[in-house]
């Protein structure tokens, strides 16, 4: 089933923020994955390995907040414009490609769609300055 989520980037405080939001919304943090859990990453410091790669928090009406910590050692730079992303979870790789192609046309900072350990994924900044993430989990 397709769904739309809000994806947030943090400078090392994703876990703290999501614990606060869980209390605020009376919800439970789900799917907490640390960088240490991911295969094939470049060498990271012990501190970075404990940072959040991905986390989810259901809030209102089926909407889910998602987040990651950005790592300077991996070239991530948190700035206004990349701290919030609209995340689309789609039902097919074909739909993922269609949406990515349309949203990235005339835009910037695209990753291309690629197979990752968690699914078929890509992100881009569209021509209007809105950041999108597209994911298909087979």
Q: Are strands 64-69 and 52-58 parallel, antiparallel or unpaired?
A: antiparallel
Q: Decide: helix, strand or coil at residue 6.
A: strand
DSSP class of residue 108 equals B
> What is 90-138's CATH number?
3.30.720.110
| Ranges for all domains in the chain classified under CATH 3.30.720.110 | 90-138
Model confidence over 21-79: pLDDT tens digits? Answer: 999 889 999 999 999 999 888 899 999 999 999 999 998 888 999 999 999 888 888 77
pLDDT digits over 67-102, tens only? 999 998 888 887 766 778 888 889 999 999 999 999
| pLDDT tens, residue by residue, 113-123 | 999 999 999 99
The edge-to-edge listing of strands for the beta sheet with 119-125 is 30-34, 52-58, 64-69, 3-10, 84-89, 131-136, 119-125, 114-116
83 near 8, Cβ under 8 Å? yes
Domain with CATH 3.10.180.10 in the chain: 1-88
Q: Cβ atoms within 10 A of the Cβ of 61, count?
A: 5
Q: Decide if domain 1-88 falls under CATH 3.10.180.10.
A: yes
Q: What is the reported pLDDT for 81? A: 67
Whether the full predicted model's pTM is greater than 0.75, yes or no, is no
How many CB atoms neighbour CB 51 within 10 A?
21
């Amino acid at each position: 089933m397709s769904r739309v989520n809000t994806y947030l980037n943090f400078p090392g405080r994703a876990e703290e923020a999501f614990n606060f939001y869980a209390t605020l919304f009376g919800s439970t943090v789900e799917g907490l994955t640390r960088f240490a859990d991911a295969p094939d990453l470049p060498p990271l410091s012990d501190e970075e390995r404990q940072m959040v790669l991905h986390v989810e928090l259901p809030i209102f009406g089926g909407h889910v907040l998602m987040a990651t910590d950005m790592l300077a050692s991996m070239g991530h730079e948190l700035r206004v414009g990349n701290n919030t992303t609209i995340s689309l979870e789609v039902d097919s790789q074909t739909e993922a490609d269609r949406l990515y192609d349309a949203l990235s046309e005339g835009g910037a900072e695209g990753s291309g769609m690629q197979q990752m350990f968690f699914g078929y994924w890509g992100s881009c900044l569209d021509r209007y300055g809105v950041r999108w993430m597209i994911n298909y989990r087979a």
